[in-house]
Amino acid sequence: MPCVLLFCLGNCFYKLNILDYSNISLKVMRIYHSPVMVQEVLESINFKSLGVLVDCTLGSGGHSEAILEYAKSIGKKIKILALDLDYEGIEIAKKRLNNNLDSIIIKQGNFSNISNIVKESGIDKVEAVLFDLGVSSLHLEKPIRGFSFRQDAELDMRFDINQTDSASNVINQESEETLKNIIRDFGEEPQANAIARSIVKNRPINSTLKLADIIVRAKKSYKYKSIHPATQTFQAIRMYVNNELDNINSGIKQAISLLKKSGRIITISYHSIEDRLVKKLLLEESRECICPTNILECVCNHSASLKLMFKKVIKPSLEEIRQNRRSRSAKLRVAEKI
Ligand SMILES: C[S@@+](CC[C@H](N)C(=O)[O-])C[C@H]1O[C@@H](n2cnc3c(N)ncnc32)[C@H](O)[C@@H]1O
């Protein structure tokens, strides 16, 4: 049975329902991408009123599996509509969710098109939407997908392999100026200038390791700290190739309008650029007025549609970070439709 615990976050105290998740955890942690902050995601869902949940980033199905198994364990019938851009991930998720296929509709699609996908599935409004953003370990660990600077492969980085433009097109065809802007804006890389110059000088660049080597050499003043010197540039190229920020912007706005009253939007982001955008979108929708601060009288006619469930982001426990290093940068945000 769920019990109630007082949970201390900075200066604020929150009441969280701590769910008995122990009986399903072994199954979830099998051999796939390990879903991040599962316990916290389950605690963020209001299972009492849950009918339909949209999992916008199915990946290999870890969160969906945990949600369905937990619902089953408390005798609650729910439906998940799950989508992902990545066909390969979907096939893996289908195997993982083999026991639950009657409770989940799985579609290949972009969450920037979530309103249409929900409508086409015969659904009107939903009780919860989950976004577990970014890249999956399946992408990083499979060299052929060309996401990782640790294994050699053709530069690719597309979530959807049917998309025409890959990282190779961007690296080999964009101007030095465009590359500099991409690396600076999507990677917050202080040495974007030098890296872009070096990329253009060394083209053609067709492999991940060649690109990583060019970046390392361009950043010669770089001292190895906690991350590999190519991390920010690879992140930037991936975000550009997959149009990630525009998709998040559009997906979250549509998700908010799909929620029923008291429905919840749950997001997990993994780096500051992504999280800043999510925070801005949720904060904006939780405000009555979004006029610029220098305007004395409100002219925006905006009204709040969300209530933020926590003032601060929720981060994974030290135990989770110890078990799954990928979770270390995760930030969970939850808001409720009002
Ligand atoms: C962190 S993984 C999700 C992992 C998943 N929660 C699990 O438990 O396995 C993020 C997933 O989002 C997908 N994705 C990224 N952008 C997307 C978009 N615009 N629309 C749909 N899926 C997207 C990626 O293909 C990737 O599989």
Residue 284 lies in a domain: yes
Residues 220, 260, single domain; the answer is no
156 in a structural domain: no
Q: Do 37 and 106 belong to one domain? A: yes
Q: What is the pLDDT of residue 10?
A: 32
Strands (E), the chain: 3-9, 12-18, 52-55, 79-84, 104-108, 126-132, 259-269, 306-308, 331-337
Q: How far apart are CA 286 and CA 289, in angstroms?
A: 9
What does residue 229 show for φ and ψ, rounded to 5 degrees?
A: -60, -20
Check which CATH number belongs to the domain holding 180 and give it.
Answer: 1.10.150.170
Q: At a CB cut-off of 8 Å and minimum separation 6, what does 3 contact? A: 17, 18
269 lines ligand 1 (CB under 6 A): no
Query: Which of 33, 159, 267 has most ligand 1 atoms within 8 Å of CB, for mutation?
Result: 159
Both 33 and 100 in one domain: the answer is yes
ipTM above 0.95, yes or no: yes
> Does 153 fall in a domain?
no
In a shared domain, residues 172 and 310:
no
| Spatial contact of 264 and 335, defined as CB atoms under 8 Å apart | yes
Examine residue 321 and state whether it is found in any structural domain, yes or no: yes
Say if ligand 1 is within 6 A of residue 110 CB.
yes
State the total domains in the chain: 2
pLDDT, position 32: 66
Task: Show the tokens assigned to 28.
Answer: 């979830």
Q: Is 159 inside any structural domain?
A: no
Do residues 263 and 125 make contact, with C-beta atoms less than 8 angstroms apart?
A: yes
**57 Cα: distance to centroid of ligand 1 (angstroms):** 4
Do 223 and 329 lie in a common domain?
A: no
Q: What is the mean pLDDT of each run of 10 residues along the chain (338 residues)?
A: 38 41 49 86 96 97 96 96 96 95 98 98 98 93 92 96 96 98 97 97 97 93 75 97 98 98 98 97 96 91 95 94 94 98
On the question of a cis peptide bond just before residue 204, with omega within 30 degrees of 0, the verdict is: yes
Asked if the structure places residue 149 within a domain, the reply is no
Report the CATH number that the domain containing residue 296 is assigned in CATH.
3.40.50.150
Indicate if 12 and 38 belong to the same structural domain: yes
145 belongs to a structural domain: no
Q: Which helix (H) or strand (E) holds 38?
A: helix 38-44
Domain stops at, among 215, 241, 267? 241
pLDDT reported for residue 282: 97
| 281 occurs within a structural domain | yes
Assess whether 110 and 250 both reside in one domain. Answer: yes
Residues 12 and 125 in one domain: yes
Is residue 169 domain-shared with residue 89, that is, in the same domain?
no
Say yes or no: 52 and 188 in one domain.
no
Domain end residue (candidates: 210, 241, 272): 241
Domain that holds residue 215: 164-241
89 and 195 within one domain: no
Number of alpha helices (DSSP H) and beta strands (DSSP E) in the chain = 14, 9
Nearest ligand 1 atom to the CA of 134 is 10
Between the CA of 112 and the centroid of ligand 1 the distance, in Å, is 12
Please tell me whether residues 111 and 223 are part of one structural domain. Answer: no
Name the domain boundary from 214, 241, 268. Answer: 241
Helices (H), 56-206: 62-73, 87-96, 114-120, 137-141, 167-173, 176-187, 192-201
